[in-house]
Structures are given as structure tokens and as C-alpha cells.
Structure 1
Amino acid sequence: MGKFVGQVCPVCQQKFKDQDDIVVCPECGTPHHRSCYQEIEHCANQSKHGTEWEYETKPVTPNRESQQEQPQQSGQKHNIVCSQCGANNPPNGLFCLFCGAPLQQKDGVQTPQNTVPQQLLMEMSLGGLHPEDSIDGISVKDFAAFIGSNTAYYLPKFKRFSEKKFLSFNFSAAIISPVYYLFRKMIPLGILFLIINLLATFCYTIVQVNTIVPIQNSLLLNIAYYGMQAIGIFSTIFGLLSGLFANWIYYKWSVRTIKKCKAKAGEDLAKYQELLVKKGSVSPLFVGIGLIFIFLFSIIFSLVLSI
């Protein structure tokens, strides 16, 4: 019934809309709202039946209201889903309103204005901050694009750090330090904690192999036993310090890296956003490589000792 959209119902004198339930007189072709037809119980042009008169569809000139509604309807049908956070964005948005990541463009559709619920949801995803707020001279939306995930957790902490309030604790960084730093692409710290884990694995493997196949080298056994105890104490202290300072370290890391991305991109905004996502965000791949490396090291070293 789309051909009747914009035509006027002869009973209520209201224009037909695409979602209206329309019935057509089988004799003259006059369209009615179903409720209107049922109300008068006959065709509005019944007096013309039996003549050669037939209903003619009149051309509809779009008015200003319908032109304003069209972008909204198009926006509802063609919202862009952010590949980083999964949020719905306007069809012509350049960057995600929620995390700041670059969006894939769709041509020919105008961008509707943000609604109040979208704005509130966006600020919730940013930890209550506005995208244009500044932290150490960097906008919140740029930090969000760099962080990628869990922005609601990090951004308020970053704001407090910029105000010289440093009290914070990160349990992930304390318990699984190498996984945390590798996941957040802080590779040097990730490698440092990975080496500590490898040393612990080295000592533990020697002790375990000795229970199955006695090792004759007493010096190696003493190094393993005392090393395992020392690394255990050191790891506990280092893990606690990591938990206390990981968020602040990530904050400083983010500020330094974002400024480098800005300097490298210059005035090229698209390149700047691309660098933020590339250098920031998270990397399960780095975590996987680190865990596989520890596992292979343990297996190979056990085999070498047992020969």
C-alpha cells in the first residue's frame, strides 16, 4: 500500500503513512483507513458508484516535515555498529560516540542529532565524563579511542591522576601481571614480568624434575631451591607494587603514547584516530604469545633436565 502514502483519507482527512492499515474500495479504488471505513461502513465515494468515476492517485509533494523525518528514518535503518565497542552510531559519523574508534562510512545518508538518552549513555561509557573534557591537554574521546575497552573504569582514574590523586589498585595487575601488561600493550613491562615468571618456572621445574629423576648437580639444586624462595618473595612484593601503581603507569603510558600519535599524524585526523587504535586498545594476541612461550619453555626445559 506504499503508493497511497501521502494521499488523504476521504473520511478523516489525514494523510496516509507507510505503517497505516489501508483498505481500498473494490469498486472505485478509493483508499481509506481501515478504522475509518469501518466507522462509516461504506466507501466515502459511494454516491459516485455506478458512474465512470474512478479514484486517481494524486502526486505528493514532499513537505518540510516529511523531509525532516526522512533522515531520521534512514538513520534508524542504517546505524553504524562500532567494531570496537559494538555501540550504534549515526550513519555519517566519523568516529564512535561511545569509544572514539573510527567508523565505516555509508554514503547518501544524513547524520541525525544525538538524542538525550544517547548522550547520557555515552557519558556513562566514559565514566561520567564528556567527550570534549580534557585530561592533561588530551580530550576524553581521544583517551577513549586509545583505551578501547573498559573506558568507564580507566577514565575517572585518569582524571583523578591528573589532579594529583594517586590512590588506586588494580587486582589484575597484581595477580596476573604479565597478562595485564601484555594485554594493554605495555610490552616492556609485560616482558619484565614474563622474565620473572620464566625464572620462577625454571626453579620450580628443576625442583619437580628432581623428585622424579634425581639431579646430581648440587649447585643447580641449591640455586633452584633458594631461587624459588627468593623469587616467590620478590614476586609477591613486585605484584603488590604492580597492583598499586598499574593504573597510574597505564595513565602515564597513555598520555605519552597519545602525544606521540598526535605528533606523528600532524593535521591528519583520520591517521591520528587510526594510530590511537593501533597503538592503544588491547591485544589478546600478545597475551597468547606470552602464555604459549612460558608453556613451551617449561616443557622443553623439563625434557632437557630429564635426559
Structure 2
Amino acid sequence: MDYIGFRCPVCDKNFHADDDVVVCPVCGTPHHRKCYEELGHCYNEDKHSEGYDFEKEENESDVPEGSVKCKNCGEINSEGTFYCSKCGTPLIDIPNNNFGQNQNNNQGNQGNPYGNNDNQQGNPFGNNQNGNPFGNNPNGMPFGGFNAVQFDPMGGVAPETEFEDGAKAGEVAKLVKQNTPYYMQVFNKIKTFNKSKFNFAGLLFGGGYLLYRKQYKLGGFITAIMIACYTFFTYGNYTVISQVLNDVVNTHTNMNPSDIYPMFMSAVEKLDTGDYLIVIFSFICLLIYYALHLVCGFIANRCYYKHCCKQVKKIKSQSSSETAADNELQTKGGVNTALAFSLIVVMLILNYAPVFLLR
């Protein structure tokens, strides 16, 4: 019997994979070896005369309806939860039985490229009904339907894996919440190889993506610069740049499209000092704006990794208990969708407001 997740009745702490466990030969109650030796006998010794059986009692113990018990720590979680709210261990276990079964069926037919095709010589589909190449699997799917696909919310990373600042992967997953498989794999790569991955969401949304992931200081700083740059470019575009382009196009109606840029630059050089500086600084601001988008794509994952680890460390140090820390991680974790939509509205206003204000 696997005792991981059960509690030692003496110290009331959960058993882990590396614990030295002693089992009572009479009733099967597990203890930490140290606890058993200190107590000197089985914790349930007084129940032996009643025929107490630990395994039977545990199997008959009721888990509240609509709940699931974590195999690692014993925490009761709501049904449908992907990973334990306490330790982050995946709560689902869906084996791919069809894959192994197909392999076994073919072992006795190594000379037959189509596997076990009894009484159907030369038929690549064997005994499958209606000649279905995927056999009798549910829904006609090749590997037993969608139930054969196992979803791991931790992305294959063990919940006990330690990241930066003593933060464990299971704790960080509670803070991340959305898209944990991707981030657990990326964070583990940063921790193991000191290499990150390019974040395309960071490229597309820049500082807004950092704010969406609740990195308010860095995200706010970058977003403020981006908004300032975009605002100045929009002003310069509608007040000077667009007028210069219109003059060039209207003056040279039959020019080649490839001549627009040199003619535009020639016209800009003839502007007075004030308008000339507006054009130059407008393009500098636009360059900074897109450069920040690119930078965010490169740094988003690593910054989020450091942010999550620091948050976990801070919350754990300020919490009075493990339960309080878990609740705080759940509260402060996730994403800020409302702020993301607000930034989209702001960018739309910056983009289209000059059309009405500068007529």
C-alpha cells in the first residue's frame, strides 16, 4: 500500500516519498519510524482487540461528495480542480490503456505488419468492425478517443521542485493559475539551464502583458513609456507628418511609389525648425515604442519567474500558517483581466482621438 498523502497518527504530519515508515504488523497503521519508537507501540493498539484494520477503515472513510482527495498531502479539493490547492500535485490520472494494449496484441504477430488479424489474412484492418482502421475504440479515434490524452497542469514538473528564493513549483503554480503547464516548463528551464523562451504575448502587448500578469511596478514603468511615446508619435503624425505626405502626393501625382520616401525626407528638411523636430522626435518615439515591444518578448518570462518566486517568498514569510499562505497565494495569483481591457481602451482612444480633436 502506498502511504504517501496519509498522516502519521502520532505527529499528524503527512507521509512523503522519502519518509522512513513503520507499519504495525497487527492492524497495518503506518507511523514515522521515529514516532513509533518514541511511542513504543502502535498508535491504535487499543483497537486491536476490536479487529481494527487501517486499510479497511481508510477505504471506507468518506470523502465529501463533489470533492477529491490529494494523493500527495491528503488535502480535500473541489471536484474538477486540476491540481491540489495545498501542494500543487496533479489530481487527475488518466492512463493510456489502449496504447499498451495495442502493443501487446502485436507481440504474437511480429511477422505481420498489421498485427493480430485473426481469420482476416491480407486485411490490414483485421477484425475491426466495418473495416474501421481505428478498430473498435470509442468514437473511432486511433488511440481510444480523447480520454486517452492526459493533461498535466504542472507541465511535467514535480510540485516539490525548488525554484528561486526557496519557492516550490507547486506554490508558484498557485500564483500563476492560468496556463500553468507552459510557465512551469519555462520556469524549470530557467532554473535548470538559465535559459528562457521568447514570449509572443509579451511581444504583442508589451508592458500591458506584464500588468496583465500583475507585475505592476515593471509593467507600469514600461507601459507609461510606451503610452508617452505613442502619444507623441500620434500627435506628430496628425499635425505634421500626414500634412507633409499629403503635400508630396498631391504635388507629384505621377511619381513612382519608390520615390515617396526620398521626396518625403526632402520635404521634411525644408520644414521650419519646430516642425522638423516634431517629425524627428515622432519617429524616435515610434522606434522606442516598437523596441519596447520586442524587449518585452525577450524578458517577459524571466521577469515573471523572478516576480513569482519573490511573491511566494514574501507571502510565506508574512503568513502565520501554511493555510494562510495558501489562501494568500490564491488571492494574489492569477491575472488582471480588467486592467488588460482598460489598456486596450486607452490605446484605442490614443489611436482615434486625434481624428476628431485635430480636424
**Counterpart check, 1:117 vs 2:94:** yes
Quick one: distance in 1 between partners of 2:342 and 2:186?
29
Q: Which amino acid aligns with 2:339?
A: F
**Counterpart check, 1:190 vs 2:167:** no
Quick one: distance in 1 between partners of 2:321 and 2:276?
59
Q: In the TM superposition, what whole-angstrom CA distance separates every residue of 1:55-82 from its partner, at most 9, and x where no partner exists? A: xxxxxxxxx97994673xx65x4237xx
Q: Which amino acid aligns with 2:338?
A: L
Deviation at 1:283, TM superposition (A): 0.8
CA contact (8 A) 2:232 2:285 kept: no
Q: In the TM superposition, what whole-angstrom CA distance separates every residue of 1:118-153 from its partner, at most 9, and x where no partner exists? A: 9x9997210101222322322211010010111100
Which SS does the other structure have where 1:163 is aligned?
A: helix
Q: In the TM superposition, what whole-angstrom CA distance separates every residue of 1:168-219 from its partner, at most 9, and x where no partner exists? A: 211111121133111101112322332213421332244225547x9xx966
Which SS does the other structure have where 1:117 is aligned?
A: coil
Aligned to 2:330: 277
Aligned to 1:207: 237
Q: Which amino acid aligns with 1:273?
A: D
CA contact (8 A) 1:127 1:152 kept: yes
Q: In the TM superposition, what whole-angstrom CA distance separates every residue of 1:193-252 from its partner, at most 9, and x where no partner exists? A: 32213421332244225547x9xx966643442223112322333332221221111111
Quick one: distance in 1 between partners of 2:203 and 2:279?
24
Aligned to 2:306: 252
Q: Which amino acid aligns with 1:229?
A: F
Quick one: distance in 2 between partners of 1:240 and 1:297?
21
**Counterpart check, 1:178 vs 2:207:** yes
Gaps of 5+ in 1: 1-63, 81-89, 103-113
Quick one: distance in 1 between partners of 2:237 and 2:312?
45
Output the TM-score relative to the length of structure 2. 0.50
Q: Which amino acid aligns with 1:288?
A: F
CA pair 205-68 structure 1, distance change in 2 beyond 3 A: same
Quick one: distance in 2 between partners of 1:296 and 1:78?
47
CA contact (8 A) 1:185 1:282 kept: yes
CA contact (8 A) 2:157 2:188 kept: no
Q: Which amino acid aligns with 1:258?
A: V
Query: How many residues matched?
Result: 216
1:1-307 → structure 2 map (5 Å cutoff) = 68=59, 71=62, 77-79=65-67, 92-93=76-77, 98-101=82-85, 116-117=93-94, 124-136=152-164, 137-195=166-224, 196-210=226-240, 211=242, 221-265=275-319, 267-297=320-350, 305-306=358-359
What fraction of aligned residue pairs are identical, expressed as a percent?
Answer: 18
Which SS does the other structure have where 2:175 is aligned?
A: helix
Quick one: distance in 2 between partners of 1:269 and 1:66?
28
Which SS does the other structure have where 1:125 is aligned?
A: coil
Which SS does the other structure have where 2:94 is aligned?
A: helix
Deviation at 1:268, TM superposition (A): 1.9
CA pair 115-122 structure 1, distance change in 2 beyond 3 A: same
Quick one: distance in 1 between partners of 2:58 and 2:288?
69
Quick one: distance in 2 between partners of 1:231 and 1:181?
21
**Could you say what the CA RMSD is over the residues aligned between the two structures, in angstroms?**
3.8
Quick one: distance in 2 between partners of 1:286 and 1:116?
36
Quick one: distance in 1 between partners of 2:149 and 2:316?
27
CA contact (8 A) 1:194 1:290 kept: no
Q: Which amino acid aligns with 1:178?
A: G
CA contact (8 A) 1:143 1:254 kept: yes
CA pair 296-240 structure 1, distance change in 2 beyond 3 A: closer
Q: Which amino acid aligns with 2:181?
A: A
Quick one: distance in 2 between partners of 1:164 and 1:139?
17
CA pair 218-298 structure 1, distance change in 2 beyond 3 A: farther
CA pair 131-252 structure 1, distance change in 2 beyond 3 A: same
Gaps of 5+ in 2: 1-54, 69-73, 96-147, 247-270
